[in-house]
Structures are given as C-alpha cells and as structure tokens.
C-alpha cells in the first residue's frame, strides 16, 4: 500500500482548520489494515462553527446573488476539475474503502456525470406564471434555495453519495455542511479543494469530519440548519428524523434496502445468473440496492442455484490494486462481525450454506474479507432475509406463480430497489408495476441514471435524489401574488368615523 497521506482537517468558511480540541482519528485501509492517514475529528463545537459559516454565507454572502445559469457554469467547472483529477480521487477512494481501483474510477465518472446533470438543470426552470383569472393580477410561483443544508453521507460510495447531495444543493443556491463517514473522509476533502478552485465562495461549502453522534449531532438539531439530507442506515435515519422534528427541518432520508431479484423460469438463464452475481456481490454486497434476496421460480431453482454457486465460488477477492481481484474487503472488522452473525443466525434457523459462509484466508487475512455466500432454504423471517446484512450474502427463496413472486418480493419493511427477469414483456411490466420499490430493473441489475429519480418506498426512506426531484429537494416554492390595480375592498364597511 502507498505511503500515508498528510493529516487532513476540517474545511470551514474557506479555510482548512484542525478540530478545536486537536483530536484526530486514524484512517486504515480495510484491504490490509495499513495506515492511510490521520485526520481531524470534530466535536459538536466544530460543527457549530461550520453551521455558522454556512448561515452567514447564505444570509449575507455573494452566493445569494448568483443566478441559476451562473451556478450551472460553476458546476460544469467542478466537473472539468474532477475530470482532470480523477485518478487522485479514485486512489483516495480505494485507499479509504478498499474497493478496486477500477470501481473507484467508475464512481468518479458517475460523480462527474452527476455534476453535469445538475449543471444543466440549474436555472432551466425559473418557476411559472399562474393564470389568476384576472388581468389585474400577476401570480408567479418561484423556486428559491432552502438555506443551510446538512449533508450526511455513508462509507460505501463515499464521494458519489455526497455528490448526489452537493451538486443539486449548489445548483439550487444553498450553502452546506458536508459530513462524510468517519471511515472514508478523503474524497470529501479533495472535493472541497475542487469546489474552491472552481470558484465556490468561502462559507458556501463546509466540511466536518468525525463520528456520527458527536461531529454529526448538531447537523440535525441546530436551529440554523434548514434541511438535512441523510444517506445511511435505518437506525441512524430514525434518529436524525426524530432530532430534526424539534425544529421542523426539511428531511430527506436515503436508507437501506433488502432488494428482491425475481427470476422467472422463462428468463434468459445465462444473463440472469450473471446479473444475479453482480447484483449480490459487486463491492462485496455493500450496496444499498444489492440484490441480496433471490426470489426464484421453483421449476428453475436447482439449475439456477447450482450455476450461481459454481460461479460465486470462483470470484477472486483482493485489494484495490490487485488487478486480478474481482471484489474487495468489507469496510471494517466490526462490519465483518455483523455479516458473520447474520449468516450464523440463518444457519441456526435452518439455512443451507451453499458456498462461502466464512472469512478469507491466507493473504486475505490481513484485511476484512468475507467470501461470497449463497444461503439456500432460508426461512422468510430470519434476520438474513428480513434485514440488511450489507455484505456478500444472497438468500434464496422460491415461488410458484406470479402472485406469489410479487407477494414475496414485497414482503419487506424496505422498498429501495428490485429486479424482474423474464422474456415475457407483459409479465415483466405487470410485476414491475406491482413491486413496491423505488427502482425496478427488468432484465438487468444495478444501472441507474442521473436523469432518473432514485429513492425508497417504506422504510428505505423518503425524498428523491437525482432526476428533477433531486433538485426540487433543495428548493422552497414561493407564490408571489401581485395586485396590479390596488383598490379598497370595502370588506369591513365604511372608512368614515
Ligand atoms: P450509518 O447510518 O452508520 O452512517 C451514515 C452517516 O451518518 C455517517 O456519516 C455517520 O457518521 C453519520 N451518523 C451516524 N450517526 C449520526 C447522528 N446521530 N447524527 C448525524 N450523523 C450521524 O450508515 P453507514 O454504515 O455509513 O452506511 C451504510 C448504510 O447506508 C446502509 O444501510 C446502506 O443501505 C445505506 N445506503 C443507502 C443508500 C441509498 O441510496 N438509499 C446509498 C448508500 C448507502
């Protein structure tokens, strides 16, 4: 692994600044435990400073005077600079997460595409004039920025999940405080450099680093924060929504998923098996939309699972710079313990481990590797089926007809994503319409588009990122009604004493 980077700090009001109490945290690469860097660890007082800077920049700074097209140009500059520095970003992402360099490069391309999408949207829609039913009234509905936004991101796609928030937040004219996961801070730091170089004024973009409840606490409680956009786990999402209720902030929650991948017997067999592997094991299953629940038509179950297992056993694990590796480690020892416990509980509940079900050995012992795991014969209520294990673990359930497939696929508190595999176009559409999930793939798994909304039903959260709604999240809507011919109404009688 490459040499550790220099110490990273918080970025507040246009300046790099250590945490007030001088506290730091070691960042270690999950692929081999090597020290990546030591970075500042914010306390609530640091985050309050960042919120104050964002508040000043929103209320009094030059940022409020920018137009949508100005901000669109700025976001295009950000995309250009990200493109120039793509390799720096990809390396930093891979060191922090342990994910393969090739995947980090794809993530950076997705970040660039996201900035370009919101650059295009900025200023396109200035609102509308409403027909008030009178020639003497001008009635306009306009969009305005919400104000100070708290943007809280997870560790699995550290920059991408942050950029899904930062790009529309800036496009709409807000200021923000970004808090990446304490495990993966580096690309967020690089992003602050790029935003500054692109011309984002001081105080508009602020960064705090550190653990959730301490560094992140004020982001959902402080009265000067107008909006919280959170991506992360269900339990944290509940805490943030409850905290934010006291000051009635706007809240957007992008939480976990337990996503069904429904395979009908008439599906293209090879494509369905191949995509089931991608759905379940890309990034070792640490993907909110991972196809962790295979729902397979009974008549094709044996052949399908045999082939899935045969291929899963051949997946090569390795570190970010191992070119032969096909997937990487889990993010931490604690997370691997959690995944291990899910598998052990499933086995205790009667599941059959068809492959995997154990940690990586030999060279892999230096990191937090868990082998791709297929659990067959699972009980529906077992935690590995009902909850998000967020690891390389796929469970297999079977169905006999279309109704049962839909019933099983919708039997989750979550509702983030799902897929249906069949060569019958009518059946594909019928099932897609009946699935209660925010994204449905037909004969594919995982692609998403910056132009199309992303978000969850049920306890996968509320609000949408990307698409047009992804910008609307960061806008207030105001109705301005002007009487062009003011007159006495006479409602309260005469004007004489
Ligand atoms: P997490 O909930 O542990 O942490 C997410 C972020 O919240 C981190 O930055 C963390 O430090 C912060 N945080 C924790 N407690 C906080 C508090 N009290 N106040 C403010 N901030 C706090 O989640 P994670 O383990 O980092 O990420 C994995 C989860 O993210 C999975 O559940 C995954 O499904 C979800 N996720 C969802 C999407 C989506 O689009 N829906 C995308 C990626 C990840």
């059946």: which residue's tokens? 427
- The residues facing 132 across adjacent strands are none
pLDDT at 495: 62
Distance CA 230, CA 240 (A): 8
254 an active-site residue? yes
Beta 393-399 vs 175-179: how paired, if at all? unpaired
Candidates 107, 154, 336: which one to mutate for ligand 1, based on the most atoms within 8 Å of Cβ?
A: 154
Q: What is the DSSP letter of 196?
A: H
The finding on whether 191 has its CB within 6 A of some atom of ligand 1 is: no
Compute the 3-state secondary structure of the chain and give helix, strand, coil in percent, each to the nearest 5.
40, 20, 40
- The residues facing 398 across adjacent strands are 296
CA distances from 229 to 68, 286, 474 (A): 21, 20, 9
Distance CA 53, CA 434 (A): 47
- The residues facing 454 across adjacent strands are 465
Per-residue pLDDT 10s for the chain (497 aa) are 444 445 689 999 999 999 998 999 999 999 999 999 999 999 999 999 999 999 999 999 899 889 999 999 999 999 999 999 999 999 999 999 999 999 999 999 999 999 999 999 998 998 999 999 999 999 999 999 999 999 999 999 999 999 999 999 999 999 999 999 999 999 999 999 999 999 999 999 999 999 999 999 999 999 999 999 999 999 999 999 999 999 999 999 999 999 999 999 999 999 999 999 999 999 999 999 999 999 999 999 999 999 999 999 999 999 999 999 999 999 999 999 999 999 999 999 999 999 999 999 999 999 999 999 999 999 989 999 999 999 999 999 999 999 999 999 999 999 999 999 999 999 999 999 999 999 999 999 999 999 999 999 999 999 999 999 999 999 999 999 999 999 999 999 866 66
Candidates 158, 162, 212, 239: which one to mutate for ligand 1, based on the most atoms within 8 Å of Cβ?
A: 212
Q: Is 210 exposed, middle or buried (0-12, 13-18, 19+ CB in 10 A)?
A: buried
Residue nearest to atom 8 of ligand 1 (CA): 181
Instruction: Pull the structure tokens for residue 382.
Output: 């077992």
Q: What is the DSSP string of 95-139?
A: HHH---HHHHHHHHHHHHHHHHHHHHHTTT---EEE--SSTTEEE
What is the number of other CB atoms lying within 10 angstroms of the CB of residue 376?
21
Between helix 101-121 and helix 86-97 the angle, nearest 10°, is: 120
């039997």: which residue's tokens? 411
The finding on whether 220 has its CB within 6 A of some atom of ligand 1 is: yes
pLDDT at 4: 43
Nearest atom in ligand 1 to 460's CA: 41
Instruction: Pull the structure tokens for residue 31.
Output: 């692929």
Q: Under DSSP, is residue 321 helix (H, G, I), strand (E, B) or coil?
A: coil
Distance CA 393, CA 345 (A): 13
Q: Under DSSP, is residue 487 helix (H, G, I), strand (E, B) or coil?
A: coil
What is the number of other CB atoms lying within 10 angstroms of the CB of residue 345?
15
What is the Å distance from ligand 1's center to 153 Cα? 6
Q: What is the pTM of this model?
A: 0.97
């Amino acid at each position: 692994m490459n040499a550790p980077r220099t110490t990273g700090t918080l970025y507040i009001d246009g300046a790099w600044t250590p945490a007030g109490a001088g506290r730091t945290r070691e960042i270690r690469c999950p692929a081999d435990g090597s020290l990546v860097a030591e970075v500042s660890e914010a306390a609530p007082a640091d985050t309050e400073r960042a919120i104050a800077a964002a508040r000043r920049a929103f209320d009094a700074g030059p940022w409020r005077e920018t137009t949508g097209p100005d901000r669109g140009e700025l976001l295009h500059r950000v995309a250009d600079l990200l493109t120039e520095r793509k390799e720096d970003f990809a390396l930093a992402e891979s060191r922090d997460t342990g994910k393969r360099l090739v995947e980090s490069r794809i993530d950076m391309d997705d970040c660039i595409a996201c900035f370009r999408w919101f650059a295009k949207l900025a200023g396109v829609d200035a609102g509308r004039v409403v027909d008030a039913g009178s020639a003497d009234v001008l009635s306009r509905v306009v969009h305005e920025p919400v104000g100070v936004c708290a943007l809280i991101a997870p560790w699995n796609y550290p920059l991408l999940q942050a950029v899904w928030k930062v790009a529309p937040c800036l496009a709409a004219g807000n200021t923000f405080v970004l808090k990446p996961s304490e495990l993966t801070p580096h690309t967020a730091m690089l992003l602050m450099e790029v935003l500054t170089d692109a011309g984002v004024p001081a105080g508009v973009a602020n960064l705090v680093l550190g653990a959730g409840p301490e560094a992140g606490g004020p982001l959902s409680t402080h009265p000067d924060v107008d909006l919280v956009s959170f991506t992360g786990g269900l339990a944290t999402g509940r805490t943030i929504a409850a905290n934010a209720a006291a000051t009635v902030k706007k809240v957007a929650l992008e939480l976990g998923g337990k996503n069904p991948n429904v395979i009908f017997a008439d599906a293209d067999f090879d494509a369905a098996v191949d995509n089931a592997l991608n759905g379940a094991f890309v990034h070792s299953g640490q993907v909110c939309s991972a196809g962790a629940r295979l729902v397979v038509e009974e008549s094709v179950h044996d052949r399908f699972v045999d082939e899935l297992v045969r291929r899963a056993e051949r997946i090569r694990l390795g570190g970010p710079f191992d070119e032969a590796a096909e997937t990487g480690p889990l993010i931490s020892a604690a997370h691997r313990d959690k995944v291990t416990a899910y598998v052990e509980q499933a086995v205790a509940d009667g599941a059959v481990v068809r492959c995997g079900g154990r940690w990586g050995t030999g060279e892999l012992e230096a990191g937090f590797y868990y082998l791709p795991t297929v659990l067959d014969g699972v009980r529906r209520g077992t935690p590995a089926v009902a909850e998000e294990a967020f690891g390389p673990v796929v469970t297999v359930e079977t169905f006999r007809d279309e109704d049962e497939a839909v019933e099983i696929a919708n039997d989750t508190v979550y509702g983030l994503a799902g897929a249906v595999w069949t060569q019958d176009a009518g059946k594909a559409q019928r099932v897609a319409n009946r699935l209660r999930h925010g994204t449905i793939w037909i004969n594919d798994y995982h692609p998403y588009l910056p132009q199309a909304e992303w978000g969850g039903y049920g306890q996968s959260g509320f609000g949408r990122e990307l698409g047009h709604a992804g910008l609307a999240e960061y806008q207030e809507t105001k109705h301005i009604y002007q009487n062009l011919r003011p007159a006495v109404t006479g409602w309260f009688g005469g004007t004489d004493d």
